[in-house]
Amino acid sequence: MSSKRSSNNKLDALYSISHDKDVDGINAAAIVWRYAMQKNLTHDVVLTDYGGFDQAFKDVARLRNTLIVVTDLGMDEEAMGLVIPRLRTAISQGCRVVWLDHHFWPDEPISALLSLDNKPVLKINHDHCAAEIAHKVLMPRDPICAELARIAHDTDFNLREIGAANSLTDAVSVIRFNAIDRKEDTTQALYPLLEKLAEGGIGRIWDENLNRFKDHVLEQRVKSYRRDKSKRMRKALIHHVDYEIDNRLVRIVEIPAGVTTTDMGTYVTDEKNLQLEGQSLPVADLFITLSPGGMLGFRRGSESVLCNEAARIFNGGGHPYAAGGEYGLYSNFDAACDDIFLRLSENKGWIA
């Protein structure tokens, strides 16, 4: 970024806003932090999730001469109303905006962001995760950032090929779920981990030879989280609800507290996990996970269904093999299932 000296008010600080939910958001934030260190900018970071934008952007309108970098967060029409006016104020006070993301954005927030002053940078690339985009745009020659980006890619694309990436995913989950349980701030809870990643990359927290975290307390927390998670997912799968639509077996599973959509989706699509109480469940064609917050995850067990089309019925989208949507808050799981099945029977575009 040569923009630092392009205007008469010199940027002297960096304000980073990233996704708190997974390794991609955390590693993107670590890359942004390393960029701040390299450029000698004072650094502040806020980690947030969708629904938390009002809080996450609340201090933005007070910023002056600051580079505002947002990573791994998409903006829809609703978020636009919270975000754009604050960015506009910040820009009028000498700030600049760089937004790096890989989610699908509607046209309106894209043009709203690009029409701001002081040459906002918006990079949306669906083929990479956010940490990879941050690495390419901000720190292309930094080997630590390259490694952080590789790890984020492994988790975001659910490849599960890098041991450290799997463990870091569970570490982020256990720290985050714990903070949410105790009504603590997720930024504060994740800060020590993020700081170490920014300072020294994965090698700072992970022992590659022993295949474990260097911090014994964290290692123990991750281990017990994994045991607990398996138990909860197994229990959730026992309480699945099946339905058949045009010869497609559709299975809905409720995601237990403390388990991510990705983990649950991976669990229910693995045949090993379908041996339950002495009987073996058939593999479903379409798997749907419903989270306590009303979010839907779609995975498939055969190519006879299109997850993205199913998600579209629920204001979502994604790929034919994996997609996400939103059902909304519910109090009764069985009633929600009936409703979801009904909507899937009424719109059959998801049947391939």
Residues lying near Mn ion in the complex (CB under 5 A) are found at 24, 72, 130, 156
Q: How far is the CB of 338 from Mn ion (least distance, A)?
A: 32
Residue nearest to Mn ion (CB): 24
Pairing verdict, β 241-245 and 248-254: antiparallel
CA distances from 238 to 19, 49, 206, 268, 291 (A): 32, 30, 35, 11, 16
Shortest distance, position 208 Cβ to Mn ion, whole Å: 24
Please identify, using beta-carbon distances, which residue of 27 and 66 lies nearer to Mn ion: 27
C-alpha closest to that of 296 among 330, 332, 249, 258: 330
How far apart are the C-alpha atoms of 134 and 154, rounded to whole Å? 16
Please state the φ and ψ torsions of residue 210, each to the nearest 5 degrees: -90, -5
Q: Which is nearer to Mn ion, 72 or 170 (CB)?
A: 72
Phi, psi of 109 (to 5 degrees): -65, -30
Place of tokens 């009764």: 332
The token duo for 220 is 């123990």
Judged by CB, which is closer to Mn ion: 161, or 184?
A: 161
Taking the complex as a whole, the smallest distance from the CB of residue 251 to Mn ion amounts, in Å, to 26
Q: How far is the CB of 103 from Mn ion (least distance, A)?
A: 7
* Contacts of 334 by beta carbon, 8 Å cutoff, 6+ apart: 241
Query: For Mn ion, which is the closer residue by CB, 101 or 285?
Result: 101
- Distance of closest approach, residue 102 Cβ to Mn ion, in angstroms: 6
Give the residue with the Cβ less far from Mn ion, 169 or 269: 169
Structure tokens at 10: 């010199």
